[in-house]
Every structure is written in structure tokens, then in C-alpha cells.
A and B are shown apart, each in its own frame.
Chain A
Amino acid sequence: DVKVTQSSRYLVKRTGEKVFLECVQDMDHENMFWYRQDPGLGLRLIYFSYDVKMKEKGDIPEGYSVSREKKERFSLILESASTNQTSMYLCASSLTPGQGSDTQYFGPGTRLTVL
């Protein structure tokens, strides 16, 4: 089974802090994704990566950056956290670049609260 793990289930940070959310997958998947989930809005794509050191903006990249130095690890960075970034963050991976029919495998999520 594919396993996607996220470094924290719950995180509380202060406004202005730099925040790192880590995601690791163990199935040699090429694609990795970061979403945020908010009630009534579903999941919105922040960034994705289809290869090491490659990244593409999703629908809501503002205020976020990402890093993928190794294939299995994809980090989401909030350079200066703000209260409107309080949300559930979900990481996902899928096998094949450019394959829209691939299943995405999700981690359990990190609930981030910015005070």
C-alpha cells in the first residue's frame, strides 16, 4: 500500500512565523501535491511537483512556496504565516507525470492554526 505521511497532525503558529509542512511518500511516485481544505470550498491546489526540483503553481499559490529536493519528500513553506492561512493542509502523490487518470494518494492532513 502507498503510504503518504505528514509531519504533524496539528500545528499552532503565530502570525509572521515561517512554517514548514513536510510530506513523505514511500512508493516512488513522480507527482506530489499540496492542497488546502476549507469548509464549503473543497480542496484547492496550492502547488504540485512532477519531478525533483520541479514545481508548478496550482490555483492558490500566493503566500506559499514549496521545495522538492528528494523524490519522496515535498515541503510546503509559509514564509510569513497569516491568520487567513489557518486551514487543513493535505499532501498527495500519484505515479505518472502527465497522467490525468492516475489515482492520488493522500496523507492524513495537517490542521494548521495561525494565531
Chain B
Amino acid sequence: AQSVTQLDSHVSVSEGTPVLLRCNYSSSYSPSLFWYVQHPNKGLQLLLKYTSAATLVKGINGFEAEFKKSETSFHLTKPSAHMSDAAEYFCVVSDRRGYQKVTFGTGTKLQVIP
């Protein structure tokens, strides 16, 4: 069984300050982990993914995430928030073994204050 928990449903930051969106996962096997972003009235877009290579993963638009097996975490960070980062972010865990059974987190809405 697998699960993912996004620890904050809403995060508010000022423009130019760091962003931290937290995600914890549970998986019986070596997982793949993803962050997707959804801008208002748009479909989801991949930000970054971890498969089994480097534990620090860089994504688009300056985002990165670090896979920490000991903490079962995959937190998303960005050094400096931009107004265009305001969106909903989903952490996703996938069982790498078989068919693509994926589990989505409940989402974190990021608000960026000018």
C-alpha cells in the first residue's frame, strides 16, 4: 500500500521569499515521486520527479525537491517566490514495480503576496 500526505493545505508567502511545500509518503517498495502544479483553470503540469538517481531533483521554474528516505519526505522548495508561482501543487507517489498505480496528495494551494 502507498500513501502521500501534504502537510499544509494552504501556504502563503511574500514575493521574493523562500517557498517550502511539505510532502511525506509511505510506500512498500522503492517509489517514484512527483510534484505537479496546477494553475487556475489549467490541467496539471509536471514540475519534477524522482525515480532512483540523484536525491536532489531540480525541476522547472527554479523548483527543487530532495528525496529523504530516512524521513520518508519529498519536500518542494524554491529560493524566491514569484507571483506566477501562485497555484495548487500536488505531491504524487507511484509504485515503480508494476502498472502505474499512482496516489495523489490532497494538494497545497500556494498564495504569493506582492
Contact = CB atoms under 8 A, between A and B. Distances in A.
A5 to B, nearest CB: 10
A95 B95 CA distance: 16
Interface residues of B, number: 28
Interface of A: 4, 31, 35, 40-45, 48, 50, 56, 90, 92, 94, 97-109
Contacts of A45: 102
Looking at A45, A98, A104, the one whose CB has the most chain B CB atoms below 10 A away is A104
Contacts, number: 67
A40 B90 CA distance: 11
Contacts of A98: 98-100
A64 to B, nearest CB: 18
20 contacts: A40-B107, A45-B102, A90-B44, A97-B99, A98-B100, A99-B100, A100-B94, A100-B96, A100-B99, A101-B52, A101-B94, A101-B96, A103-B34, A103-B46, A103-B49, A104-B102, A105-B46, A106-B36, A106-B43, A109-B43
Contacts of A41: 106
